[in-house]
Amino acid sequence: MLTAENGLDQNGFESWLFCPGMLFNAPQKWWGDHGQRDFPHEGIDICLYRDRSMRTLRLDEKSRIPVMHDGIVKAIFADYLGKAVIIEHETAGSENERFLSVYAHTKPRVDVKIGTMVKEGDIIANIADTGRSKARIIPHLHFSLGLPSPSLTYDPFVWNIMRNPDLVTLLDPLEAIDWPHQQLEPENHYCLEL
């Protein structure tokens, strides 16, 4: 949906590209000094892609973010680069099982608030403009998936709650991507220039 909503498929989208540090559980950063993260990466960072002409392109702050599945906005909080929107979804065919999707480093639409019901494909935000970030990091979508424990409350919901395995079991979101993807080598010049 992200590729279709932003017209990437019309321009010959070929695959998502990930530098070391952009994938789930990565221990290192993909920006700045490329040093170690304080915590393993809680999701994936989506920004680079390749088209059929083999050009490497990237998403920007005009990129619109569709929600992956019907759900309810349970939390919105300020993150390091913008805001994070947490949506709770029921697992298909079950009223008791649920999962979370987290869309971070965004600028949510004004009509997206806690309690808002969203449908699959609804636009909930744009990628945040990170131009003023002290980390000097390019605009990107951080996407996480998780299974909430029965004891999880959403007030307040911050990164540390998502990192607590007693409250959220994080899942590898790469499995939810329905387009081809490729991990670039650390010495790839696109990764070194980020």
- Separation CA 9–CA 139 (nearest Å): 20
* Counted domains in the chain: 1
Residue 142: domain span: 2-193
In tens, the pLDDT along 45-69 reads 999 999 999 999 999 999 999 999 9
Whole-model pTM: value is: 0.94
Helices (H), the chain: 2-5, 159-163, 189-193
Record the tokens describing residue 87, joined without a space. 């949506």
3-state helix, strand, coil in the chain (%, to 5): 10, 35, 55
pLDDT band at 130, cuts 50/70/90? confident
Q: What is the DSSP string of 58-104?
A: E--TT-EEE-SSSEEEEEEEE-SSSEEEEEEEEPTT-SS-EEEEEEE
Give the domain CATH number at 188.
Answer: 2.70.70.10
